[in-house]
Amino acid sequence: MKLKRLFKLQRELDERIVKEKGLSGQELFGLGKQLGFTFDQIEAEYLRKNALNHHRQECGY
């Protein structure tokens, strides 16, 4: 699966989860800022964890 498509699917899933939980992306980012993280740190960790999750799914974990 192409990486761009993979990120699109992950973004759609994230948006659905945020909607179901009644949170906004702004609230999630605000929480990260309150914990002392920058946007770049949050984004980098999200991308790292997302790639790991997809690797696990592909390997049957």
Tokens of 39: 């946007």
Per-residue pLDDT of 3-51, as tens digits, reads 677 777 777 777 777 777 776 666 667 777 888 888 888 778 878 888 8
- Compute the chain's Rg from CA coordinates: 13
Split at pLDDT 50, 70, 90, the class of 1 is low
Going through 1-61 in order, the beta strands assigned E by DSSP cover none
Exposed/middle/buried for residue 56 (C-beta within 10 Å: 0-12, 13-18, 19+)? exposed
Split at pLDDT 50, 70, 90, the class of 55 is confident
Q: Which of 54, 60, 57, 58 is nearest to 10 (CA)?
A: 54
